Chain A
Amino acid sequence: MNEALLRSLTPSVLGILVRRGADFAAAEDALQEALVEAVRVWPADMPREPKGWLITVAWRRYLDAARSDTARRRREDLVEEEPAPGPAPGVDDTLQLYFLCAHPALTPSSAVALTLRAVGGLTTRQIAQAYLVPEATMAQRISRAKRTVSGVRFDQPGDVATVLRVLYLVFNEGYSGDVDLAAEAIRLTRQLAASIDHPEVAGLLALMLLHHARRSARTGPDGSLVPLAEQDRGRWDTVMIAEGVAILQAALARDRLGEFQAQAAIAALHADAPTAGETDWVQIVEWYDELVRLTDSPVVRLNRAVAVGEADGPRAGLAALAALDDALPRHTAVAAYLHERDGDLETAARLYAEAARKASNLAERDHLTRRAARLTQLRRTG
């Protein structure tokens, strides 16, 4: 049973149902039922045309549901208009589905859930597990999201930027359950890149690949965070890095820079350094300057201060940091790091402990606590 095949067919099949006139919410339910049926039937009896099979079964389910619906009359008109099943162009429909599921009327969490289900073909249970919420809660979130977008016309062009934000959110989610959200985000971004020619889509795909390539080096055997400078670069996935760099270079060549391309460029410079000491921090600072220009985000300025600290020395980094609001998340952790680099271990240890108290996730809290402990130990032993 090829789950990957099934899930890759999901968006285009759904797009076809909606184009035939099915209401999006009902079509999505019908497709979920068809997917369940496929998981049951296909292992013993693989259809020759898996996509056609899914379309036929989902459409039948949709009609069954529509017939038993109270709005029978309106729907029966639709039944009579049923077009002949046949091959339909899939690419455009897939793209429309991305736009719909990332519609600006949806909250970020709703857009994420709907994208994973309607575009990704995940079950509600899988999505609930991935986000550590009860299945009933996730089911409600998805059905509310479907109601929100039910009036949206399917052929309206959407905004690629909203889709990219949703995919970025999926990729960045730290939880790991049954479903590998990072890998799923890459799959969905790859599929999107195949549907639309857009340098920022390529930029996001490159960014994801370049970060994903470092994944196994990012945590120690005990689950603790390993910072970039201390990672075993031999464990980075060089094939994935090469793919990310190639995608990024093709995107940059088109000279329509965006924030994801700039972020990917920074990740590529890290990937390019054989050792942490050989990192081209001067170029990284230049990319952060581009990012500040593109986004004006305080978080970017904070990361820029770290890069400045590496390129021009910790004092310069601290000066850049001084211009920023100290209530920013990770501000204290960055200050601790720059003081450590500057040789002021006492201040650094105090700030690491303070940063640990402010950390928003356990892995980071443990990491910062360990940093504080290590410096305290160093000072004790001289």
Chain B
Amino acid sequence: MAKYLLLKHYRGAPAAVNDVPMDQWTPEEISAHMRYMQDFADRLEGTGEFVDGQALAPTGTFVRYDGEGRPPVTDGPFAETKDLIAGWMVIDVDSYERAVELAGELSAAPGAGGKPIHEWLELRPFLTAPPTITE
């Protein structure tokens, strides 16, 4: 088994085919989209491949250490940030091919006009613990 992170971007991914902001959809299209996402997660739980899914607020803060005895420095949010993560799903699957297959299904979630969004999702393998048997 191998774990993969499916990343959804607010910004930074190539443009989706059906690229219409959600507040321009109809309420029914939004409901259909939500239902698709939920069904997808439920199905992966059923197959034993779901690990976690979370959504993130669009704005955050950059923070760094500023030396002994000083409070951390904060900066941002930056309007010009090119890459902005919207949320993720972690899956635990048997192969890279299976991970790609699932990412493809998630990208087919319906959007404006009830048509698939064809959204680009980023698929990143987790680094694992070293195997016990190496020779």
Contact = CB atoms under 8 A, between A and B. Distances in A.
Interface residues of B, number: 17
B105 to A, nearest CB: 20
A224 B38 CA distance: 12
Interface of A is mostly: helix
B55 A370 contact: no
A197 interface: no
Contacts of A349: 23
Contacts, number: 42
Interface of B is mostly: helix
Contacts of B31: 222, 224, 370
B22 interface: yes
Contacts of B25: 373
Interface string A355-381: 011111010011001101110110000
Interface string B18-41: 000111111101110011001000
Contacts of B38: 223
A257 to B, nearest CB: 37
A360 B34 contact: no
A6 B35 CA distance: 40
Interface in B43-74: 55, 57-59
Contacts of A377: 26-27
A352 interface: yes
Given A356-B23, A376-B23, A376-B24, A370 B58 contact: no
Given A360-B57, A362-B55, A372 B34 contact: no
Contacts of A222: 31, 34-35
Contacts of A357: 58-59
A374 B34 contact: no
Contact of A369 (B23, B55, B58, B59): B23
